[in-house]
Amino acid sequence: MPPPPALVLQPHMPWRWLAPRRLPGAAQAYGAGFAELLRRPPALAIGCGRQAALATRLLRARGSAVVQVLDPRLSPRHWDLVVVPEHDRLRGDNVLTLLGSLHPIDDAWLAAARAAFPPFGALPSPRTALLVGGPAALAPWTTEAAASVFRHLATQLRDTGGSVLASTSRRTPPAVAAALRDAFAGVPGVVWCGERDGPNPYAGLLGWAERIVCTPDSVNLLSEACATRVPVTVAMPLTAHGRARDFRAALHARGRLADATDVHGAATHTIAPLRETARIATRIRERLALDASD
């Protein structure tokens, strides 16, 4: 069976401001392509984000079963199912919650990542993946604090051996990227700070990591790190507050996060990866009475 089509929807004004509220003429909000989809609605539609929530709401009115991922900022009664992270606190009879975020990472994904980046496997062990995001409203860490983390980890690797697999994101400030390069100069491994460093090795970093250190700002980053079977710790944890702090606390309660001191040693127990996507997919099939092949 071919994969279902995926649409990136950009509603026109004024619906972009008002989505997912349904106003007169909303069927034209996404242009001719989506208007045609409304004329021939699919059996199932899944949308993610507030802009897509208007689309799934319109499709439901035409007979599609619809699932909306992330809080649509409107009553969930307008959708068949709404899927949200636990830390969003939205609840209802048709609301499914998960710890963290949805992602494709499982053992097969990690094996494919290792196959795509075989040179990483030759780096000195233990291989420490360092995943760097950027300061955020719920985790306003500073360049100075990040640089201190980088220097501490680099010193540990120089003293006891091992290698680093580091990457930044689009949100990483240039000063933080510069501090990352400076701290790990001469340390075996990979430091990727953008396209000038070649193809993004993020998948390979997760695939080959023997331990992972994350900044505290991104639920997605931390969810994907915790989908592996290696120890994960959060750098600068006290800078997180609100939902970011609650998510980290939930991971600690589940036993999925290591203390900062523990992550530098080998795992002494079997680590259960955090993989919510398959569980949520099963719940959706059950609630909507879908066949497993759907």
Per-residue pLDDT tens listing for the chain (294 residues): 566 778 788 888 887 888 888 888 888 888 888 888 899 999 999 999 999 999 999 999 999 999 999 999 999 999 999 999 998 889 999 999 999 999 999 999 999 999 999 999 999 999 999 999 999 999 999 999 999 999 999 999 999 999 999 999 999 999 999 999 999 999 999 999 999 999 999 999 999 999 999 999 999 999 999 999 999 999 999 999 999 999 999 999 999 998 765 445 445 567 899 999 999 999 999 999 977 655
- Quick one: pLDDT at residue 164? 98
Is 259 found in the same domain as 124?
yes
Phi, psi (deg, nearest 5) at residue 135? -55, 145
Is 257 found in the same domain as 196?
yes
Closest CA to 109 of 232, 251, 275: 275
Is 151 found in the same domain as 22?
no
Range of the domain at 47: 15-99+278-288
CA separation for the pair 76, 83 (Å, rounded): 10
Is 170 found in the same domain as 69?
no
Is there a domain that residue 8 lies in?
Answer: no
Is there a domain that residue 10 lies in?
Answer: no
Q: What percent of the chain has pLDDT over 70?
A: 94
Is 112 found in the same domain as 199?
yes
Is there a domain that residue 68 lies in?
Answer: yes
pTM of this structure: 0.89
Closest CA to 239 of 171, 168, 135, 140: 140
Is 111 found in the same domain as 219?
yes
Is 133 found in the same domain as 60?
no
Is there a domain that residue 2 lies in?
Answer: no
- Quick one: pLDDT at residue 29? 85
- Quick one: pLDDT at residue 3? 66
- Quick one: pLDDT at residue 14? 83
Is 282 found in the same domain as 255?
no
* Dihedral (Cα; 8, 14, 20, 23), 10-degree rounding: -130
Task: Catalogue the long-range contacts made by 288-292 (C-beta closer than 8 Å, 24 or more residues apart).
Answer: 288/44, 288/65, 288/67, 288/80, 288/81, 290/44, 290/65
- Quick one: pLDDT at residue 117? 98
Is 70 found in the same domain as 177?
no
Is 252 found in the same domain as 124?
yes
- Measured at the CA of 28, the angle between CA 27 and CA 31, to 5 degrees, comes to 125
In angstroms, the first-to-last Cα distance of the chain is 9
- Quick one: pLDDT at residue 229? 96
Is 74 found in the same domain as 197?
no
Domain count, the chain: 2
Is 233 found in the same domain as 170?
yes
